Structure 1
Amino acid sequence: MPRWRRAPRPHRGLRPRVRARGVRRCLCRADDDRLPGDGDQRDRRRVRRRRRRWSRIDRRLDGGKPDRGGSADLGRVLHLRGRDGDHVCRHGRDLARPALGAVRRRGIVRRAFVVLLWLICGLLVAAPWLCARHQLSILTELFIFGLLALSLDLIMGYTGMVSFGHAAYFGLGAYAGALTLLTWQLPIPLALASGAVCAAAIAWPIGYLSTRRTGIYFAMLTLAFAQLLYTIAYKWRSLTGGSDGITGVPKSALWWAGPSLGTPRAYYFLVLVTVAVALLACWALVRSPFGRAVVAIRENERKFAALGRDPARFKLIVFVIAAGFAGLAGALFAPFRGFASPELMFWVLSGQALMMVIVGGIGTLVGPVVGAMVFILVQEILSSYTEHWMIFTGGIFVLMVIFLPGGIVGTARRWLELERPG
């Protein structure tokens, strides 16, 4: 006579599921084509020697003892796991208290990130009243070079191209802004616009020739054109001043800054607003359909070309836009320091901008700005203590590249689980 045992006890408020959610394979006879699914309470004949299947889970809980009613065993199991059975609610109702652990971690981290972001914005706005004159000057320079690194990140992070001559457009913007302010005595908004337009205009033919190549060939072409522009600026003394450059670049009047931008506080706010607008513009660009297409080129250029689109055209547009932002940074630098020289176009500055992007995080937009801050602050601190600061600076950045391969912002985003899929 077959043995009989009670069915597993459901929790109070729950009803047993009649049919199984998925189809499971089981050993049965060939003519047994209408066996009940898992969870059914009917007898299962001709399965496991005409006996009901033993549930190992149920046997582990109560060993097949008869039902005592209630949810005492469920509460005991939850108590053994460190939870209180009284807080288990009925089916379809909310929990008596919020979920613990990783369920809430993502939301908490996001809210903390937003609060931290607003705190940083508040500190940046209050910086002119919190910092000394020299510290405010360093902070202004940080944002200018952060804009240069941001423009390079558009090329590196979203097209996959590495430019070794990006500083040439920074120097072109500095020369254009200096000539606009010094020679034609135009207001500084026009000087900033002239720097961006001049750099973008010269970058168009250079990019047209360079973006047809990939990898090391593109990098060497950008370096060659940058050195060519550096040589022209060095030799054309009547326009650029030669090795001495253009000095005495003024800060012209601006309607919201009073009579002039000569005060560090007014010029700091000009730089801060310009960098913020440029950052928002780059953020909107990379999340537009055009930006998605550029990312697709970076992932697989051959597949993108197979769709009938020209990858070089998209890369050329990004190259010109990035050069325009670099020229804008140069136009901000010239009146800030009061000069423009060929050294601003040299390959050394291109290498420093490349290091800023790597340290901050490639393809993160905010990362290059953070990388520029870290790069310049490390230089300022170490140079005040030792004459051999370049050795220590190089060692620090080598360690950062080894242990933070995604950069500061990229590593922080992965650690805080803030990256969105796709």
Structure 2
Amino acid sequence: MDLLNRSDIQSLVASEADGIHVSLMLPTHRFGSGIQADQVQWKNLVHGAEAVLLEEMRRPDVEALLAPARELLNNNLAWQYMSDGLAMFLTPAGSQMVRIPASLPTLAAVGEHFVTGPLMRLLSGDAHFLLLAISQGSVRLMDGSRHTVRQIELDDVPTSLRDVVEPSGRSDSMARSLTAGRGGRAVFYGHGVGADEAKKDDVMRFFREVEAGLREVLAGQTAPLVLVGLEQNVSAYRELNTYSEVLDEAVLRSPDELSADELHQVAWPLVEGRLRADRTRLISRFHDLKGTGGQVSSDVDAVSDAAEQGRVETLFIRSDPWCWERVEDGGDPPVVRLGTDDRFAVCEEVESAARHTLAYGGMVHATSQEVVADSELAAILRY
């Protein structure tokens, strides 16, 4: 699973690579017959992008540019490990693939910059969250959406107490001897208060190392995070936690026997309430300001200009379906040469507004709830 943060998306937005930029996006399936259909759709997107590129580039250059996309097409194993959305960004200088737990439009776009607006729902959308299932035997960080969660690989984070304190032997009649995994020290748990304190110290040491590792993983994230674990473990982790978006409420039960689907089932009600409250607060603020003559707008041209000038504080863009999906295109997936197709002009303005809002430190909020009728976007302005 790929965990994107604001700086990752800003890097795509600010790409200064020479030459053509190609953006390929697709909603994907995690399992079932939909996987094969996804591969067919990906093939169609790559073929469509190729046709557009051949109008202005030599075939060898086009083949080199699209090579990573074709390699993915033929990698059947990779398609078994998709999430809900797939995006690939290609330039002559290189490529980047991301899988996210949120739906993306089906789109191939060719131009002087990447299409990144749909990714911004990960920063402040109304259906994205993180989940940390924590126990002394297992640590799982998951990226979630309204429907599913998927585990994120934790390469430099201890995922069980044994990673920090490993057992080296045991005497059933007395106690068990433990040897630290990474610290290299030996400890002995006997009986009584002293042994309890030693065990508690090791547990806190474990959680301290977990928090330190997750601090790097979560750097730049803004999604709400829900904790799942026994009360004593959740409380211990809260004492050390530095991530600002951890929910006050938690699921207080052992996560060890819960599957990913079961974790989503118990966590989503808590997360949904937080996301709904955030969405309602932002949209209510927009309408309150509008009702008092405040600095708001839902005019696409005006908002796009304001974003370019750095005046947008909060930008709302419609999702599910995205602008790109609402443009009629004969049923075929949209293949767009940016700047040349009037059918997608409004979509490009929305994309431009999102890019500039992010670049100037504003918030882009992708929401399936309509903020203003018949408008692709709305904005709260700084001035």
State if a TM-score over 0.5 links the two structures.
no
Larger radius of gyration: 1
Q: What TM-score, normalized by structure 2, do the two folds share?
A: 0.22
Q: What TM-score, normalized by structure 1, do the two folds share?
A: 0.21
Which structure's residues are more often strand, by fraction?
2
